[in-house]
Amino acid sequence: MRQEQEFDYIVVGAGSAGAIVARRLSDDPDCRVLLIEAGGPDSAGCIRDPCIPQVFQAREDRSISRNNVVARPEPMPATATPAQWAGGYWPSLYTGIVRGGTSAINGSVYIRGNRRDYDHWAALGNHGWSYQEVLPLYRRSESFEAGECAYHGGDGPLPIRRMFTESPLARAWTQAACELGYDGPDWDFNGARQENGAGLYQLNVRADNVRATSAIAFLDPVLGRANLVEKLHTSVCRVRFEGRRAVGVDCLDRAADPDFQQGVGVSYRARREVILCAGALETPRLLMLSGIGPADQLRGLRIPVRMNLPGVGQNLMDHLLVVMLFEAPGPIQRSRWTAEAGLFCYSPDRSTALTPDLQFHVSAGIDYFTPPGQPRENWLCSPTLTQPESRGHLRLLSDDPRHPAWIQFNYLQVESDLKLLEYGLRHAREIAAAAALKPFTRREIGPSAMASGADVAHFLRGAARTVWHPCGTCKMGVDAMAVVDPALRVYGVEGLRVADASIMPRITTGNTFAACTLIGEKAAAMIAGRA
């Protein structure tokens, strides 16, 4: 193993939150920061271009994206194949293994969530996380194309734009939603109120149409900093401790391996703190490999227990959607984006819910979602569960850091989730029948068109799919299952924090990238003593 280097802070993961933590900590020239990323550089064209088809190419490129191992249920349904099942199907759960993390392969939709999401976090005992307390951090991050206002920032590193290449279908769909009584059609989901409004999405995309990942937005402008060191192609195996204090990390540096395979062992030392920002699937795995997690599981793998935290790897949440296709009467202008417009609303059975429980994504003519034999001239609407009740978990299968974790999502295991998605199908059809969409809609096509009555539940269990928003596996809180405190410090040890989607006690209402940027900003501010 090579001689270790020493830094003030070590940030593990250059993704949606980690890139921001490293940037903000290195704003202090007296702090030396090491940012470690398992993936490589973000120079690929399919990363820089956020539009179709490049966004799908990025997800399929194994040099920048990982399709995580997802568990099937036991017992396995007799008629199921490995490609079908994980609470309905075998999901392709992609995460970005590249500079920028999953912000390099996602749909570039920027939605902060509902203000009540953060007020709920605070009500759970997470003081400092209410909406009014986190809004200034959102504004600090953001450079909104329409300029600064009460809800948007004007000169932050992250450029945010309104959808700028809308299709006629997207505009008609928002007008159709208004026919049913929703506000819009130019609703600002990141403004005063998210719910019951339809509008075009906002995007984290630069004025030159380059995807603004966290790395591109926050790290690229400070590439010359002497006090910020980036190590790519380097996988962290475990956190090192002296007593109860985290003092560094042990890694495998694949860039130093002549065969670029196994990697060369290397250690780095942290004078102050180690901050894990490896994501909701990787951070709990690293904690458990380091002896922090459910004691029984760790002992079963002969991992010495440093701290028994039963919540590590639990509380796994994700958004879940089903794709519905509608044939157009004639040629349709195709979307450049995986989702152009949307709506957040309450289902009738959950009208008193804390936040909207349904989101609808809309776009036109995406071949990726069109089954063979179906008309290419179509548009899609995807009802999405924003607050699923079902919870999953992940666990280690080995003490070998090269082995992936076992991931069990348990999608649609709670009956109310299934009923809510059934309502989402019906409501999508109601919107599709509105007058504004008549020029764009001949009939519903694809598998969803045949789902009715008793067949709906069977269809949903086979067709619902992940939105690639895993979170919650190292939740923040003050209860027995919490892994980190409101300052994101791991319970029972010193010098170790977590700052990524895994800390969410409850998933945010909408695409999770924006919330991850907030977590990065908040973590850095607390570490630096600004919050």
pLDDT confidence of residue 258: 52
Spatial CA neighbour of 200 closest among 176, 178, 179, 170 = 170
pLDDT confidence of residue 502: 99
Element (H, E) at 269: strand 264-276
Residue 261 pLDDT exceeds 80: no
Per-residue pLDDT band for 453 (boundaries 50, 70, 90) equals confident
pLDDT in tens, 412-422: 999 999 999 99
Average pLDDT score over residue span 78-82: 36
Per-residue pLDDT band for 69 (boundaries 50, 70, 90) equals low
**Spatial distance between the Cα atoms of 284 and 276, rounded to a whole number of angstroms:** 9
Residue 303 pLDDT exceeds 60: yes
pLDDT confidence of residue 86: 37
| Residue 451, token pair as written in the block | 């789902």
Average pLDDT score over residue span 48-52: 91
Q: For residue 415, what are the contacts with CB-CB under 8 A and spacing of at least 6? A: none
Domains and CATH numbers, the chain: 2-42+92-132+212-316+471-527 (3.50.50.60), 154-210+317-466 (3.30.560.10)
pLDDT confidence of residue 80: 36
Residue 175 pLDDT exceeds 60: yes
| Tally of helices (H runs) and strands (E runs) in the chain | 12, 24
Find the angle CA(275)-CA(281)-CA(287) to the nearest 5 degrees: 45
pLDDT in tens, 191-231: 999 999 999 999 999 999 999 999 999 999 999 999 999 99
CB 5 within 8 A of CB 268: yes
Residue 351 pLDDT exceeds 70: no
Supply the residues annotated as catalytic. 469
Residue 262 pLDDT exceeds 90: no
**Spatial distance between the Cα atoms of 305 and 290, rounded to a whole number of angstroms:** 8
Average pLDDT score over residue span 441-459: 88
Torsion of CA 357, 316, 275, 518, to 10 degrees: -10
DSSP string, 151-212: S--SSSSEEEEE--S--HHHHHHHHHHHHTT-B-SS--TTSS--TTEEEEPEE-B-TTS-B-
Phi, psi of 222 (to 5 degrees): -125, 30
**Spatial distance between the Cα atoms of 115 and 103, rounded to a whole number of angstroms:** 22
Q: pTM of the full predicted structure?
A: 0.95
Spatial CA neighbour of 386 closest among 364, 353, 348, 415 = 353
Per-residue pLDDT band for 58 (boundaries 50, 70, 90) equals confident
User: For 5-63, where are the alpha helices, taking DSSP H only?
Assistant: 18-26, 45-48, 54-60
